[in-house]
């Protein structure tokens, strides 16, 4: 299981499983280029859907979603990991339903 540092609280929900921490492996530059190339082939609509789904999922999580400003920082980091220069725009209605209207760092349409 791969977890970001801010997801480590998930381990508490799986106490009965023999999960331990491992060192972060080094990333081979060749592999990194292959992943970046593969991400460049993913259609923008899929990246937009993934970003919105990520934001919705973690917004509903009490640990991550309680600080909306940090949530948006993490979401925008996720968008950069998908190779986007700026986060995708989300419909204003959706942002309103998520309670994320007027949070800096979000783009609306």
Question: Could you list the pLDDT tens digit for every one of the 109 residues in the chain?
Answer: 888 888 888 888 888 999 888 888 899 999 999 999 999 999 999 999 999 999 999 999 988 889 999 999 999 999 999 999 999 999 999 999 999 999 999 999 9
Where on the phi/psi map is residue 65: left (φ > 0), alpha (ψ -120 to 50), or beta?
Answer: alpha
Residue 51 lies in a domain: no
Residue 92 lies in a domain: yes
Q: Could you tell me which residues come within 8 angstroms of residue 80 by beta carbon, excluding any fewer than 6 positions away? A: none
Residue 36 lies in a domain: no
Residue 95 lies in a domain: yes
Residue 93 lies in a domain: yes
Range(s) of the domain holding residue 71: 62-109
Residue 43 lies in a domain: no
Query: 74-95 burial, b for 16+ CB within 10 Å, e for fewer?
Result: bbbebbeebebeebbebeeeeb
Residue 23 lies in a domain: no
Residue 26 lies in a domain: no
- What is this structure's pTM? 0.86
- The total of structural domains in the chain comes to 1
């Amino acid at each position: 299981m791969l977890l970001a540092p801010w997801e480590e609280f998930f381990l508490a929900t799986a106490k009965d499983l023999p999960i331990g921490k491992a060192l972060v492996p080094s990333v081979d530059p060749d592999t990194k280029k292959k992943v970046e190339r593969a991400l460049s082939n993913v259609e923008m609509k899929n990246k937009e859907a993934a970003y919105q789904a990520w934001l919705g999922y973690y917004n509903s999580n009490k640990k991550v979603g309680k600080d909306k400003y940090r949530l948006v920082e993490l979401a925008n980091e996720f968008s950069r990991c998908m190779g986007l220069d700026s986060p995708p725009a989300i419909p204003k209605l959706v942002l309103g339903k998520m309670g994320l209207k007027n949070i800096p760092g979000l783009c609306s349409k």
